[in-house]
A = this chain, B = another copy of it.
Amino acid sequence: MTVTATDRTVREPARLTACKGPVLYPRPTGRDQYTISEVAEVTGLSAHTLRWYERIGLMPHVDRTHTGQRRFSNRDLDWLDLVTKLRLTGMPVADMVRYAELVREGAHTFPERERLLTAHREDVRQRIAELQSTLQVLDYKIDIYADARRASERV
């Protein structure tokens, strides 16, 4: 049994610009075609992951050039924005795939989509509450160590 230090290297998405409404990835104006590496850059996901998302049905159909290379659209970027946000909140990939299927099926799945997101919102709220309660424990513990440190410094 070996437990090695976790590699916490997480690709950071390009910095977001503030605006009203949901914050999206910044985009060069007048463009609607992006290579996979440009999308990787802007979303913080790896090209591998983008291809994998497509394979498992988590992406709507992505355009291709005549030679088969992917060309992502602004709409794809919007979708990835939602997906990465849901992923950050710990929604399982399988649930996101389910949601993607519903989107593909059309407007008649609105009620089901609403249910899915509402249930997830409840999850997120609960997670926030959990985190906040742990924050208290952390504060409590840190105080103990800080007090000990101050006491020793006061010698």
A residues adjacent to B (C-beta < 8 A): 1, 3-6, 21-23, 55-57, 82, 85-86, 88-89, 92-95, 97, 107, 110-111, 113-114, 117-118, 120-121, 124-125, 127-128, 130-142, 145-146, 148-149
Known: A22-B137, A111-B149, A117-B145. A95 touches B132 (CB 8 A): no
Question: Which residue on chain B has the smallest CB distance to residue A98?
Answer: B5
Q: Which of B56, B120, B134 contacts A88 (CB 8 A)?
A: B134
The reply to whether A149 and B1 contact each other, CB–CB distance below 8 Å, is no
CA–CA, A137 to B23, complex, Å? 9
* Chain A contact residues: helix, strand, loop or mixed: helix
Each complex incorporates copies of this chain amounting to 2
Known: A121-B135, A124-B138. A110 touches B22 (CB 8 A): no
Question: Which residue on chain B has the smallest CB distance to residue A23?
Answer: B133
Question: Which residue on chain B has the smallest CB distance to residue A22?
Answer: B137
Question: Which residue on chain B has the smallest CB distance to residue A128?
Answer: B131
